[in-house]
Every structure is written in C-alpha cells, then in structure tokens.
Amino acid sequence: MMACKRGEKFMLRFKYFALAIVFAMCCTIAVDKAQAQVSVEIGAPPECPYGYYDVAPYNCAPYGYYGPEWFAGGIFIGAGPWFHGPANFRGHVNRRFHPEHGYHGPLPARGERPAKPVDRIEHFKGNEMRDGRGHVVKR
C-alpha cells in the first residue's frame, strides 16, 4: 500500500509539472515579441528672420543673438534638430539675448522678414560658443 501512495504522489507531481510546462509554452507562443522602435517627427524648422533658439519651443531669436558665422548667404544654417552646418561647427552667440539667461525683450514673429543684414551683425558681442545642436562648447 505504501508503494501505491508513493507512485500516486509521483504521478500527481508529474501532472502538475507537465501542466506548468504546457502553460508556459502557451504563454510564450501567444505573446508576440514587441519591436522597439522610436520615431520622432520634428516637422519644418521655424521661419525666423534672425534664427531661432536651439532649445524647445524653438522661438525666434532676436537680432544680435547669433553671430554672422551662423548665416550662409543670408540664410540661417539652423540649430537644434534642424542644424545643417559642419560637424565641427562652433559659432558665437550673445547669451544676454537668451531667455534662459534672463532676456525678456521683444522677439521677432515667425515668418517675419529680416530688417537688418544677417551676414554682418552690427556691434555683435558674442560671449558664448555653441555647436548648433544645443550645446555650449569651449572657445
């Protein structure tokens, strides 16, 4: 009688083990593997007469924030996600005209046309170097 109980216990454990394996296989088969994919749509760059800040929300920057090296043929080379200058680009900015440094003056509107030349900024006072991708860099 003892052997019979031992055999029954073994069969009962075997059934639970087999059932657990079947359940695990069903869960594995039923679940599709998710593909990790990140897509970011940034849209068109802001149309600003003197360029736009390299940080969100990418507002138009005032005349005198960017130095003349940020313009090629009178066209802003871009900043932030729309930067299309050379990989090793370094350009001067006047951080006094940046909201993160306390500037609260007027900003041009998007779509506004430049009233002053951008290839030679009068009395430009660059006090910071930036790389076009939103980073301050060493001079």
Domain ranges of the chain: 42-139
- Its pTM surpasses 0.75: no
pLDDT of amino acid 54: 92
pLDDT tops 60 at residue 134: yes
pLDDT tops 70 at residue 4: no
pLDDT of amino acid 16: 74
Share of the chain above pLDDT 70, in %: 83
Three-class DSSP labels, the chain: CHHHHHHHHHHHHHHHHHHHHHHHHHHHHHCCCCCCCCCCCCCCCCCCECEECCCCCCCECCCCCECHHHEECCEECCCHHHCCCCCCCCEEECHHHCHHHCCCCCCCCCCCCCCCCCCCCCCCCCCEEECCCCCEECC
pLDDT of amino acid 13: 79
pLDDT of amino acid 5: 74
pLDDT of amino acid 28: 66
pLDDT one-digit tens code per residue, 47-60: 999 999 998 899 99
pLDDT one-digit tens code per residue, 82-120: 998 898 999 999 999 999 999 999 999 999 999 888 877
